[in-house]
Structure 1
Amino acid sequence: MKLLRVGPKGSEKPAILAQDGSIRDLTGVVGDIGGSTLLPEGLAKIAGTDIDLLPKLDASERIGPCVANVGKFICIGLNYADHAAETGAKIPEEPIIFMKATSAIIGPNDDVIIPKNAIKPDWEVELAVVIGKEARYVEEADALDHVAGYCVCNDVSERHFQTERGGTWDKGKGADTFGPIGPWLVTKDEVPDPQNLSMWLEVDGHRYQNGSTKTMIFGVAKVVSYVSQFMSLQPGDIITTGTPPGVGMGIKPDPVWLKPGNVMHLGIEGLGEQKQNVRAYQA
């Protein structure tokens, strides 16, 4: 299933993408796409619904974040060997965990705002994992049982804040609009192998990233299991799993940074595409 949320910011309706490409309203079936809806029984309820009988929504309406009320927005850093190499970083021996603020979450096609005092804003196409069942100290062999599905994430970053302002990476990752997710939450039954998905990102039509989840250092099952050793994972929590090479900071000899007027276009095989206009911060 491809689940999504449609409508103005703060008033999105739960929806599902039908086989004919139409968007069908799930308001009468579930409260929203998030929380208990993502439990196995919640997804089973949607799967048991005759989608063709549901009302159609206007396909021109805004698509919001594909998950509502995200509790934790967890990120894995330097999780692609080729990306670590382009940044000059050592390949990590264990997954690097940091957090994005949930206030960074926006819809897949909403504008990305360069924050005040930013110097080095950058892009990162990533596979995001959406938790569907509480995970606490889970074994790697059982980890995917706790996954509801997957979505595209653009882990927008400010490298100056991230690496040159002291402390942890979080301050370069959590600005408002730095977390576009969607367009869809694709349930895991439609993604038989999350370690074999092509992914790409373009800025103004130039393809900078062209990779595959095959080159992850730590796969999805390992990441879910690992994170669950340090914090419980709840339905609707998101783990975004790292980016392949081609980020702005890795371009030699001169890095390329986002600027107002740029358009980012990105996607992951089977999970849909995003497109964001980049704008300057205005008080």
Structure 2
Amino acid sequence: MKRGRVAYAGAIHEATPDGDRVRLADGRVRDEHEVVWLPPFEPGTIFALGLNYAEHAKELQFSKQEEPLVFLKGPGGVIGHRGDTRRPADVTFMHYECELAVVIGRVARNVKRADAMQYVAGYTIANDYAIRDYLENYYRPNLRVKNRDGGTVLGPWLVDAADVADVGSLELRTWVNGELKQRGNTRDLVTGIPELIEYLSGFMTLAPGDVILTGTPEGVVNVNAGDEVACEIDGLGRLVNTIASDADFARG
């Protein structure tokens, strides 16, 4: 099942897809542009994987690390489908990162990889923007790179884990203004989902609503104000958002 959350007519509604439209829990059907999209669930702690596709690490001239490269993100940086992400005027290289997002469904502590998938509630698409100008180094992706307001887009749907037949073979694609720029497959993850859950739950407790962003494949390019970026993952949908300028956000 695919489930989402939208704001419409002064209230927040659970929503499901209805062809190219959106069906609210009360039965009303609306066009995508008539509603304000929220993240499809209330995110808890967000664990973001860096350089978890070998070709992307090679693209950035970075060798494989001994342990997963993980950092935390606050839920305040998350926005929904069709939201705007600000590109500060002083930066030279800001790029998208299309990622499979894994949503934890129950408390996980010291989970073994053989049991790890039992703790997954579902999956959604993430577009986790990065500003390379602000990067100190790959071991320290500082706050300005990865914890920006509106810098992480989630949605449009949370898809139940049982409805994804083979999460280890999903194609990811990113389009910028209708042009295909990025393509990869989850079969190429350096550290897979069961291993990530085992690793993280081995030293901290994972809670329902926590999210693991599993990394992005090669093919990241700079984006500018006005660009429309669309991320697709097989079976999960199409996540669209727009890059906005400082002026759009009334910031100088």
TM, length-normalised to structure 1: 0.80
C-alpha RMSD over aligned residues: 2.2
Shift of 1:22: 5.8
CA–CA distance in 2 between the matches of 1:164 and 1:148? 33
State yes or no: 1:67 paired with 2:41: yes
* Equivalent residues of 2:87, 2:243 under 8 A apart: yes
Q: What amino acid sits opposite 1:274 in the alignment?
A: L
2:64 is paired with a residue whose SS is coil
Q: What amino acid sits opposite 1:15 in the alignment?
A: A
CA, structure 1 residues 219+55, in 2 after alignment: closer, same or farther (shift >3 Å)? same
Shift of 1:241: 0.2
Partner of 1:207: 180
- The aligned runs of 1:122-137 (5 Å cut-off) are 122-137=95-110
Q: What amino acid sits opposite 2:78 in the alignment?
A: I
CA, structure 1 residues 166+190, in 2 after alignment: closer, same or farther (shift >3 Å)? closer
Shift of 1:193: 1.4
CA, structure 1 residues 93+65, in 2 after alignment: closer, same or farther (shift >3 Å)? same
- The aligned runs of 1:251-266 (5 Å cut-off) are 257-266=222-231
State yes or no: 1:246 paired with 2:219: yes
Q: Which of 161, 169, 172 does residue 188 from structure 1 map onto?
A: 161
CA, structure 1 residues 225+191, in 2 after alignment: closer, same or farther (shift >3 Å)? same
State yes or no: 1:113 paired with 2:78: no
1:266 is paired with a residue whose SS is strand
Runs of 4+ in structure 1 deviating by more than 4 angstroms, as ranges, are 8-11, 164-167
Structure 1: gaps (5+ residues): 27-53, 249-256
State yes or no: 1:274 paired with 2:239: yes
**Equivalenced residues, count:** 246
Partner of 1:225: 198
* Equivalent residues of 2:23, 2:30 under 8 A apart: no
TM, length-normalised to structure 2: 0.90
Shift of 1:171: 2.9
CA–CA distance in 1 between the matches of 2:9 and 2:132? 28
CA–CA distance in 1 between the matches of 2:139 and 2:208? 33
State yes or no: 1:56 paired with 2:2: no
Shift of 1:147: 0.6
Partner of 2:12: 12
CA, structure 1 residues 195+166, in 2 after alignment: closer, same or farther (shift >3 Å)? closer
Shift of 1:121: 1.2
Percent pairwise identity: 34
